[in-house]
Structures are given as structure tokens and as C-alpha cells.
Structure 1
Amino acid sequence: MDISIFLKPLSIQNVTPFYTWLNDPEAIKYSLSLFQSLNTKENIDEWYISVINDSKNYNRGIFLSNSDIPIGYAGICNISITNKLGEYFIFIGDRNQWGKGFGTQVTKMIVDAGFEELNLNRIMLTVSEPNYAAIKAYKNAGFKIEGRMRQACYRDNKFHDKLIMSILRDEWNVR
């Protein structure tokens, strides 16, 4: 049986897996720095409610075709209508689903929505340099490296660089 991915808005009923994921050091290692401090149910609930009620950003839950339980979430934040740009993010918290190509698939789906639904011209992201799997997924989805932020992230008691990557509408149209 071939399992595929679909995206849909998150609801309050989808919060439960986040309690486990956000308390898993490996799952949050290269994610949003905020995740490092969200470790109580109350903290996670407050953050999660702000995410699902956020109409300024494009947030979607990531679901397997055979399940109503999310494996993560992704979207575009910091959207500028004036400049027609936004910042891509993805978090696959269910480590059982890592390494299956879902990151590339979801990235392509969100990029498509960014250009088709949100009418953006540029979608960028930042990624920790040691996060090789993510960099590969982003390149496979058409993102290009455009810069480096030196020692911009502190994990495992050391600093590492973050890469700035982007894809433009005219590059997306030809992929």
C-alpha cells in the first residue's frame, strides 16, 4: 500500500502529538529555537493555539493518507504582501516518518501554494548547516543557497552556521 501525504489546517484536536514531539530533543534539534523552551503542556497549548488561530501566516498540518493524526506541520510565515515574499518552515515531529521523502514532497506542496494561492514571488528559508537531510529536501524542491549566517545557531554546546535558501516564482515555473 502506497502512503501519500496531504495537508490541511490544524485543529485543536491535533495538538496531542506535539506534546511528545516538542519534548523530544532529537526531533527539535534543528527546529525553531522557541521549541527548546516549550516543554510543558500549558506552554505547548498556548503556542499551538496561537498557531492555529494565526491568519497572517499559512500553516498546514502534515497528514498521512491513512491517518487523522498529524506527523508535523509546515507553511509560510513572515508573509509580506507588498514585497510578495514569505519564509518557509517545516517540522516533521514524528521521527518514524523521517527519511521517507515526505520533507521534499511537503516542501513542493507548500511552495506550490505559496506561488499559486498566495501569489508570492519569493520564498526563502534558513536551515542549520548540519541538517543535511533538510538541505537535500530543499534542493530537491528547487531552493538555491544564497547566503550563510555565520555561527547563527547554538546546539550541542557549539555554534554552527545557518544557510539562507530561496526559490523564485520564475524558477518554480520551470521545474
Structure 2
Amino acid sequence: MVLGELVRLRAMGPADAEALWRWNHDPEVMRWMDDTYPQTLEQVRGWLAERPRNAYGSLLLGVEALADGALIGLVSLHDAEPEKGIAELDIYLGEKDYWGRGYATDAMRTICRYGFEDMRLHKVTLTVVTENHAARRVYEKVGFVEEGRLRQVFRRDGRWYDMYTMGLLAHELR
């Protein structure tokens, strides 16, 4: 487990399938996320049971609120290679009652700190849809900076959106 000020990050397993399934089928939660084809609860449970264990190249952690122990989201560092020292980060909070209360910011700081200190990463990268202003505010608060723009690569509601690529170097973490 990895502790932040508001959150605890911990490995996910089949017991977390119901929450993950519910989040992935909530249009408001998935608004700016790459979503996949609909899956059954059993498929999600199977995916969590069969996915390889956490390792340097693929780390998936549940985000729990310290205040009440509720599973509220997930974070992932993936595509990491020790030779490059760079990983890509994904995060989302599926429990909307926890939005706007500092949990996402703390989860970001906590996973980045873990990446830099424990995994010895040099850089963490991510992409965010240009219209996802709330997420971008969180990323900038933690220290991420815009590094580029991918034009018209995300489609939602019949419209194409751009995405920002953002990066954070170890010494930039706030």
C-alpha cells in the first residue's frame, strides 16, 4: 500500500469488479475517458483475476479514501521501461461524491511520488482531452506541464476533440 494525505493506493483484485464495472458504465464518469465496448460484470471480474500481477511495466492500483476506506477510483502507471525511466499515467475517480474534494490531486501526487521514489522514474506522462478542464487543473496543480497537442484524436457525441500531452519530471512534483 502507498499512503497519501487523503488516499491509500492498493492493488486491485476480483472483489473490486463491481465498482469498476459500475464506473465504466456511468456516462458522466466516462465522459472524457477512452471507453471500451460494454462488458458484463463477470467479464470485468475475470479480467481483474487474470491480469498479470503488478510489475514495473504495468501497475494498477485502487484509490481508497482514508477517511472511510471506500474504493473511489484507480490509478495506473504503464508502458514503463527501466532503460527510459518514463511511464504513462491514467487516473479516474469513479465515485462522484468524492469529486472536487482533493482526492484526485492527492492520488496524483501519491502515485507520482511512488513512481519517482520507488520506481526511480525520471518522467511521468499523460494525455487529457482539451475540454476536460477539471482534470487539467488537477494535473497542473501537481506540476504537470503541457508538452504538445494531438489534433482531433478523441471522439465524443459526434465531435472530434484535441488532446494535450503533459509531462512531469521528478523535480517538478508539487
* TM over 0.5, shorter chain: yes
Distance in 1, Cα, partners of 2:156 & 2:121: 32
Distance in 1, Cα, partners of 2:102 & 2:52: 26
Residue matched to 2:61: 60
Q: CA deviation at 1:49?
A: 3.2
Whichever residue aligns with residue 88 of structure 1, its letter is L
Q: CA deviation at 1:51?
A: 4.8
Moved more, 84-93 or 60-69: 60-69
Residue matched to 1:112: 113
Residue matched to 1:8: 10
Q: CA deviation at 1:43?
A: 3.2
Whichever residue aligns with residue 162 of structure 1, its letter is M
Distance in 1, Cα, partners of 2:102 & 2:28: 18
Residue matched to 1:17: 19
Residues 20-50 of structure 1: CA deviation (Å, up to 9, x unaligned): 111111111212x2x3313322332243335
The structure that is helix-richer by fraction is 1
Alignment of 1:154-165 (within 5 A): 154-165=155-166
Distance in 2, Cα, partners of 1:36 & 1:29: 12
Q: CA deviation at 1:165?
A: 0.3
Contact 2:153 2:161 in 1 (8 A): yes
Does residue 42 in structure 1 map to residue 31 in structure 2?
no
Whichever residue aligns with residue 66 of structure 2, its letter is S
Distance in 1, Cα, partners of 2:159 & 2:171: 38
Distance in 2, Cα, partners of 1:71 & 1:157: 30
Q: CA deviation at 1:65?
A: 1.5
Residue matched to 1:127: 128
Residues 120-146 of structure 1: CA deviation (Å, up to 9, x unaligned): 001100001111010000000000001
Q: CA deviation at 1:161?
A: 0.4
Contact 1:12 1:52 in 2 (8 A): no
With structure 2 as the length reference, what TM-score do the two structures score? 0.89
Does residue 76 in structure 1 map to residue 77 in structure 2?
yes
Unaligned runs of 5+ in 2: none
Q: Between Structure 1 and Structure 2, how many residues are aligned? A: 169
RMSD over aligned Cα, in angstroms?
1.8
Distance in 2, Cα, partners of 1:82 & 1:76: 16
Q: CA deviation at 1:54?
A: 4.3
Unaligned runs of 5+ in 1: none
Distance in 1, Cα, partners of 2:63 & 2:123: 23
With structure 1 as the length reference, what TM-score do the two structures score? 0.88
Residues 47-69 of structure 1: CA deviation (Å, up to 9, x unaligned): 33355734331221100114344
Distance in 1, Cα, partners of 2:62 & 2:140: 22
Distance in 2, Cα, partners of 1:92 & 1:43: 21
